[in-house]
Amino acid sequence: MAGNGPGRRRPGLAPGEKLSKGIVKRVVKDIFSFYPVMLPVVMVCIILSSLISSMPSIFQQKIIAVIERSYKSGDWAGVKSEIFRYIFVLVSMYVVSLAATIAFNQMMATITQGTLKKMRGKLFNKMEMLPIKFFDRKPVGDTMSLYTNDIDALRQMVSQSFPQMLSTVVMVITVMGIMLYYSVYMTAVILLGVAAMTVITKFIGGGSAKYFFKQQQAIGKAEGYIQETISGAKVVKVFCHEKECRGDFEKLNDELFTVASRANKYANTLGPILNNMGNILYVIVGITGGFFISANIKNIGIGGMPFSISLVVPFLGMTRMFCGQIGQISNQINAVVAGLAGCERIYRVMDEEPEADEGYVHLVNVYEKDGELVETDDDTKMWAWKHPHKEQGTVTYTPLRGDIVLDGVDFSYDGEKQVLFDVSLYAKPGQKVAFVGATGAGKTTITNLLNRFYDIADGKIRYDGININKICKVDLRHAVGIVLQDTNLFTGTVMDNIRYGKLTATDEECIKAAKLAGAHDFISHLPEGYNTVISGNASNLSQGQRQLLSIARVAVADPPVMILDEATSSIDTRTEAIVQRGMDALMKGRTTFVIAHRLSTVKNSDVIIVLDHGHIIERGDHDELIAAKGQYYRLYTGAFELE
């Protein structure tokens, strides 16, 4: 995968980018699709709990009205029972609210963790479908940030912010209805204060949203750089770039500090401002209510009640509740925006175009019957290409041989700068073809095209006479084995890593492949032999040993075509001799493409192709090219520097 060295500009979302429209709708739609029954039940429980939480003012008004009536009449006989009746009803409602709250909190735990599980699964599955070019341009650390920071931001939003926002909306609407029922005038006073609070919330919340989105970008960049620097710690030490790395990291860390500070300053400023405005409004409502009572102003309300202590006092409580809910919205803005910013980054990956595969030719097992090839499920039989011909309505079977032809191939990675120019070559079954040339000549590019990691711009590539564009990519890649210069081993036993080449391989097949690759001897000396657990890309093994395991992994896959991309460049001379013997045995009967800077390793190739800036400038066997005294001769004799 492509990385970025110290001091280079790191990719990320462009500064100033905004959340896409409909992001909230998309998140809610996804959660509904995950839990189509449980989520509506949770919403009902939240609404029920919020409605009940809005009712105390009604009971407060009724109790004060009873006391006022009794005070004026002097009759206290029925007060006690009536007050206790209201209290009993209110307590009963609170019990129901408590049950609803417990229920939705329990279900939200399942919904939250389930949503994260499913989102991680969708994200990982999508990444498995993406082409190699996606990973070439995206730093590993930034990708990992999707699974950590962005998913965690989504967790906070789903588990806390969404329920709180729904509860707030329900309570605001309910309290508004109660206030209008009691007094339009008093409601108007509160709404004027809330309008001012809304303007401030919009202004400060907008700034908070912008910087929380930038914060998620900055986290991804910083984590990408940290991952890259830790992975290349030895390189940093070798070249004494500690100071430069610290400087680069400080720039990214400062950027993260700046945007995170600004985001939280906006968010943290909003709460105190709204709280104090709520307190001021509380005083204004009290003064206004007292004025209305003393001035005997006629009240206007759905309930038709006059201004009195029993009306004004509950309004004070509703003012506190109403302003408190507006404050709750401000408290959740940072979590909501951070969650939406995380979702935005996740959805951008999910919206990436998957690797296209229009192939319809598949690898199948066949056996010969009466001179014809017949398909079978027995994987011990021979392999063949199953090629359906739609126009004729027929199916033909072509034995898998490893015949490769490139005819007039042009290629560009970005569609602008051409890398290969009219490349034509062929490799007959069992032939060994070597590519030689300076770095950037196009050697590895050709092998990438054989696997269709990238698609060509023009020309044809044929495998056993079939255009590889017609072959299903999975089957094509099963038929082409690659040993790369950079080895990638996975956490597990040595046996598991060899079996990675063919998951159905038996232990005996894996051991046979290891012997063929020359890896059996060193594996036998490991503490647990083939059952030795390796981790961290097998850092406890030498580079040569890791490469031997990589070669054994390809050997167990037993493909008819092999690509050896600098397969022995990281191995010492003694180990190279061991590997070369195994490689010779492995290459026997297979079509093999070899890329090597050590020209001694390609001397015995059937064909040597010399590349220069995407052009084939020479071809022939070793003796022919030496006799021609062209560029290969100069490379081989040291008269021309390979680099």
Range ranked top by mean pLDDT from 31-35, 388-392, 440-444, 459-463: 459-463
- Which residue in 607, 551, 608, 553 sits closest to 576, CA to CA? 551
Per-residue confidence at 281, pLDDT binned at 50, 70, 90?
confident
Instruction: Tokens 């495998």: give the residue.
Output: 463
Distant-in-sequence, close-in-space partners of 396: CB < 8 Å, separation ≥ 6: 387, 389
Q: In angstroms, rounded to a whole number, what is the distance separating the alpha carbons of residues 348 and 127? A: 12
Taking only the tens place, the pLDDT of each residue in 588-602 is 788 999 887 777 778
Range ranked top by mean pLDDT from 110-114, 483-487, 635-639: 110-114
DSSP-assigned beta bridge partners for residue 561:
480, 591
Range ranked top by mean pLDDT from 233-237, 284-288, 460-464, 542-546: 460-464
Per-residue pLDDT for 7 more than 80? no
DSSP summary character for residue 602:
G
Q: In angstroms, rounded to a whole number, what is the distance separating the alpha carbons of residues 549 and 571? A: 12
Per-residue confidence at 176, pLDDT binned at 50, 70, 90?
confident
| Structural contact between residues 11 and 138, judged by C-beta atoms closer than 8 angstroms | yes
User: Full-prediction pTM beyond 0.85?
Assistant: no
| Structural contact between residues 522 and 529, judged by C-beta atoms closer than 8 angstroms | no
Per-residue pLDDT for 257 more than 70? yes
Number of residues assigned to the chain: 643
Taking only the tens place, the pLDDT of each residue in 332-361 is 776 787 788 888 889 999 998 888 888 999
- Which residue in 457, 418, 455, 425 sits closest to 440, CA to CA? 418
pLDDT at 643: 40
Q: In angstroms, rounded to a whole number, what is the distance separating the alpha carbons of residues 134 and 146? A: 15
pLDDT at 315: 81
Per-residue confidence at 15, pLDDT binned at 50, 70, 90?
very low
CA dihedral 326, 328, 334, 340 (to 10 degrees): -90
Phi, psi of 388 (to 5 degrees): -80, 140
Query: DSSP of 169-202, one letter per residue?
Result: HHHHHHHHHHHHHH-HHHHHHHHHHHHHHHHHHH
Range ranked top by mean pLDDT from 112-121, 242-251, 295-304: 112-121
Q: In angstroms, rounded to a whole number, what is the distance separating the alpha carbons of residues 618 and 205? A: 66
In this structure, what token pair is assigned to residue 527? 């503490």
Q: 128-142, 441-455, 461-475: which has the minimum mean pLDDT? A: 128-142
pLDDT at 209: 65
- Which residue in 139, 126, 127 sits closest to 1, CA to CA? 139
Per-residue pLDDT for 190 more than 90? no
Domains of the chain are: 23-205+212-350 (1.20.1560.10), 429-455+477-637 (3.40.50.300)
Per-residue pLDDT for 322 more than 60? yes
Query: DSSP of 263-291, one letter per residue?
Result: HHHHHHHHHHHHHHHHHHHHHHHHHHHHH
Q: 174-188, 225-239, 566-580: which has the minimum mean pLDDT? A: 566-580
pLDDT at 201: 67
The mean pLDDT of 451-459, rounded to a whole number, is 90
Per-residue pLDDT for 78 more than 70? no
pLDDT at 245: 83
Per-residue pLDDT for 11 more than 80? no
3-class DSSP state of 224:
helix
| Structural contact between residues 576 and 568, judged by C-beta atoms closer than 8 angstroms | yes
- Percent of the chain whose predicted confidence (pLDDT) is above 70: 88
pLDDT at 2: 35
pLDDT at 72: 64
Mean per-residue pLDDT of the chain: 82
